[in-house]
Structures are given as structure tokens and as C-alpha cells.
Copies of this chain bind each other. A is one copy, B any other.
Amino acid sequence: MNTERASGAPTLEEVARVAGVSLATASRALNGSSRKVNPEYRERVLAAARTLDYSPNLAAQAVAKGGTSTVALVVADISDPYFSSIASGVMRAAEERGLIVTIGSTERRRARETAMVRMFRGQRPRSIILVGSRWAALGSDRELGDELKAYEKAGGRVTMVSQPQLPFRTIDIRNREGAAALAGQLIKHGYRSAAILTGPGDLNTARERAEGFAAAFAEHGHPIDDRWLVTGDFTRDGGFLAAAELRRRGLGEVELIFAVNDIMAGGAMAYLRSAGVRLPEDVAVAGFDDIYSLRDITPALTTVSLPLELIGRRAIECALDDEQNGDTRVPIYGVPVLRESSPLIVRA
């Protein structure tokens, strides 16, 4: 009586048998687009599928069709709100296109990035999206580059977020411009001397933001001394420690501390406060990204607002919607948002 196999899901063949039609017809009734199938048969197939709890084997479909409907996303750290916001955008856009997204988190380790790409390549995803990879130049990580090139040669599309110097299509977050715009606004608000909390030197994002900010201050006649440029991890704790280091160097004249991302700014604020520095009375603070969950810290953080979700969405569009070839570089601009952490300075 009970003929179903001990394990394993029902197959299309079983559905066909139950419905009393051929495999081909069952396939067409459930997915086949180009050809019509007799409504009566279709109904029978659908009914059979329902009673059997049939679910098409995507892997088998993929091999038969020679292509999947999958997108692979590689991020540095999914628990970091910056990345998870971008991931959210990617997933939304993927959903709309009926794509499944597989995610890998490299834990900010370069070697794992290559390993993940290698592994994902086997999935034959429609696109591989790398966000937050850090290498300063392709040469410094040839393996990853080779892997990606091989993937593209086989017909895949790779999209990078924020790595415009690489030979792949990329969402180009204009860090330099954003930081410069923020600096401009702050200068207008009366700030004259700033310190910068930046990230590891080989991390492009951090470098660009720091440079853009410093350049703008210099252009306006307020160059930033190297003494007030301190390096830390690109994380909350990195900001905390960098702020400590900065204070050790003495921040007497510093009116403003610019951290290259909000998380670091948050860490820096925590340190400063613990050290008895009043914010923003004693020193102003600014960040970059406009992370949602940090929007309620006190004092409200001045920052450069980035459309994180949109970036994720664009990453998919860029890779999949065959725009007339050209657009291989999508620029994204951030807008400065001044909040309480950087009050107007009124000079006598």
C-alpha cells in the first residue's frame, strides 16, 4: 500500500505516474513555458503534485537547463550593519527576480575570500557579488583575481562593491567625494582643526575617505598634521583604541574627530566619554555610512549618509540587467548629514 520510498523527496516521474501522463507532460505542466498542455492534463498533474507534496529539484533543473537562478554574495562580516544592510538590498532585488542568494562571510580574512569564491563558483551562480574586499591592488591577491577571471570566462558576472580599481564591473562608492563634501560642510560650520581615525592602510575604503577628508581641509587652508592621523581596525574596537591613541598624542587643539566609518566613530565616542571628554562640547565627532542602528546614539552622529540598501540593489542590477554593455561602473554618492555631534562653532 505504502509505496513511497523511505527517504527522499517525490520526483517528477512519480508525479507523472500518479497523474497518468508522461514525464514530458508533467514537466511542461509544472514549468514548461513555450508549449501549452491540455488543461485537463495540467489539472491532473497539479493535483498529483499537490497530493505528493512535490517540489521540483532545483539542482536537477539546473543541470538540465545548464544554468541556475542563484546569486552568490561575499561580504566581510554579515553581522556588521554596513554589510547586512547591503545584503538586505541584494536580497530584496534578488527576490524580485526569483533568484536565490547564497551568502558567505569572510570574517575579514583575505584568504577566505578566495576560498569562498572558489566554492561558490561550483554553484554556477548567475553572478558573484563581492563587497568589502580589501586588497589594494589586484596584484596583491592574484589568486582571487584569477578565480574571478575564470568565473567570468565561463560566463559568470562578477560585481564588486567599492573596488573601482579592479577589472570588474563595480558599484563605485565615491568615498573621496563624500568625505570631502562632509569636510566642506564642517569647515563651513567653523571647524578648523581635525583629527582622523582611519582603518588599515590596505583597505581602500578607509584610505579614500581619510584622503578625501584631509584633502578638503588642506584645500581650505587647514592641513591636518600627521600626528592627528591614527590608524585602527575598521571596527568598533578599532575606533575605541584609535581614540585612545589619539588622546595619548594630546588632542588639545583638535576641534573635530573624523572616523572613517560610523562604527569606529561609535567606539571612539565610547572611549572619549569614558575618558571624561564631553561630547560635543569638548570635541566634535563625525563618521561615515549613516548606519541605521546607530542613528540613536547621543549626541546624534554627524556622518555621510550612504544608500546602503540601494547599493545592494544596484549590485544585482548591474550584474544581471544587461544594460547596453557600457555602464560597468555605477557611481554612488553619499550626502553629508550634520547632527548634534558637530555643532556650529561661533568664533568671536
Binding site for B on A (CB under 8 A): 7-10, 53, 55-63, 66, 68, 70, 77-81, 84-85, 87-88, 91-92, 95, 100-105, 107, 118-124, 146, 150-151, 153-155, 236, 263, 266-267, 269-270, 273, 291-298, 309
- A154 touching B7 in the complex, CB below 8 Å, given contacts A79-B84, A84-B81, A88-B79: yes
Question: In the assembly, what is the distance between CA of A101 and CA of B105, in Å?
Answer: 10
In the complex, A121 Cα to B102 Cα: how many Å? 14
Name the contact of A267 in the complex, choosing from B103, B294, B296 (C-beta under 8 A): B296
Choice from B59, B103, B294 contacting A103 with Cβ under 8 Å = B103
Do A293 and B101 form a contact, CB below 8 Å, given A10-B154, A59-B68, A123-B59? no
Give the contacting residue for A81; candidates B105, B121, B293; CB below 8 A: B293
- Residues of chain B within 8 A (CB-CB) of A95 are 104
Minimum CB–CB distance from A340 to chain B (whole Å) comes to: 11
Task: Given the known inter-chain contacts A124-B59, A297-B296, A298-B297, please indicate yes or no for A88 contacting B77, CB distance below 8 A.
Answer: yes
| Contact yes or no, B292 A269, CB < 8 A | no
Known A-B contacts A55-B122, A87-B78; the reply to A8 vs B293 at CB < 8 A is: no
> Complex formed: what's the CA distance from A63 to B61 in Å?
9
- Of A104, A123, A146, A294, the most chain B CB neighbours within 10 A belong to A123
Question: How far in angstroms is the closest Cβ of chain B from A203?
Answer: 20
Do the beta carbons of B88 and A53 come within 8 Å of each other?
Answer: no
Chain B hits for A87, CB < 8 A: 78-79, 84, 103
Chain B nearest Cβ from A220, distance in angstroms: 31
Q: Are A79 and B292 in contact (CB under 8 A)?
A: yes
- 23 A-B pairs in the complex with CB atoms less than 8 angstroms apart: A7-B155, A9-B121, A9-B154, A55-B121, A55-B150, A55-B151, A57-B124, A58-B124, A59-B59, A59-B68, A77-B88, A78-B88, A79-B81, A88-B105, A100-B102, A101-B103, A103-B103, A236-B293, A263-B293, A266-B293, A269-B296, A273-B298, A297-B298
B236 x A79 contact (CB < 8 A): no
